[in-house]
Amino acid sequence: MLTIDEIKNISFRKATLNGGYRAEDVDSFIDEVIVSFEQLKKEKTNLVHKIDVLATRVEQYRADEETVRNALLASQKVADACIREAKEKAAKIVRDAETKAQALLVDANNMTAAEKEHYLQLQSDAANLRNELISLYSKHIKSIDDLPSTSDVEASKAELDEKYPTEDMSAPAQAQPEEDDVKIAVPAEKKPEPVADTEEDVPAPSKRQSKFSHLKFGDNYDVAAD
């Protein structure tokens, strides 16, 4: 196939002295040019066909690219929606957890305050009971202190013996009479009186009421009764 340079630099042999060229050289060159042009035409046709194929593929690629782009955009939208929904759910879960935690803290604080108040009330009740017991036992101790002791009894006896002295006025023993002068009177035999068979016929001796019986000590004392 001829090139552009070969066509430009072609030279023919002179046919005559007047400057004409040989016909066979010109015809041969024309034939080569025709062959070259036909080959170029074929190549051009092939190239045009290839270009058409490539253009079709490009258009197809562009369509596919648009589809892919739309799919990517749709995927991005779905991903953004999922992320946004996940964030909203996570934020809601965090808010709910914080609300529940705050409620638990408030309940725990209220329970702690109630238990403290209950404990302090028990302490106050115990202190009041202690004061009442101390006051009650103080009264009992004062009542016990008012009772005379053994030393008080001995002192009172000594004081009474000193103020009001007494003598032993028991009668002296009489002289025993002689046996001849004494007539022994034998009393008539008496029948024994019937004895009651049961203890119910015998009246029980009455117990003497003590002036200190109202005092309560030891196991007989009941604080709640007062």
Give the pLDDT confidence score for residue 3 in this predicted structure: 65
Q: Round the average pLDDT of the chain to a whole number and report it.
A: 75
Q: Angle 147-156-138 (CA atoms, 0-180°, nearest 5)?
A: 15
* Cα separation, 186 vs 107, whole angstroms: 106
Residue 1 clears pLDDT 80, i.e. is over it:
no
Confidence of residue 156 (pLDDT cuts 50, 70, 90): confident
Averaged pLDDT for residues 202-223: 48
- In percent, how much of the chain has pLDDT > 70? 64
- Residue 3 · residue 40 · CB < 8 Å: no
Residue type for position 86: A
Give the pLDDT confidence score for residue 80 in this predicted structure: 92
- CB neighbour class for 140 (10 Å; exposed up to 12, middle 13-18, buried from 19): middle
Contacts of residue 221, defined as CB under 8 A and 6 or more positions apart, other chains included, come to none
The model carries a pTM of: 0.33
Averaged pLDDT for residues 59-70: 85
The separation between CA 154 and the C-alpha centre of its own chain, rounded to angstroms, equals 73
pLDDT in tens, 114-149: 999 999 999 999 999 999 999 998 888 888 878 888
Residue 186 clears pLDDT 50, i.e. is over it:
no
- Residue 27 · residue 44 · CB < 8 Å: no
- In percent, how much of the chain has pLDDT > 90? 28
1 vs 197, residue with greater confidence? 1
pLDDT in tens, 97-107: 999 999 999 99
Backbone angles phi, psi at 14, to 5 degrees: -75, 135
Give the pLDDT confidence score for residue 118 in this predicted structure: 93
Give the pLDDT confidence score for residue 122 in this predicted structure: 93
Residue 4 clears pLDDT 80, i.e. is over it:
no
Residue 63 clears pLDDT 70, i.e. is over it:
yes
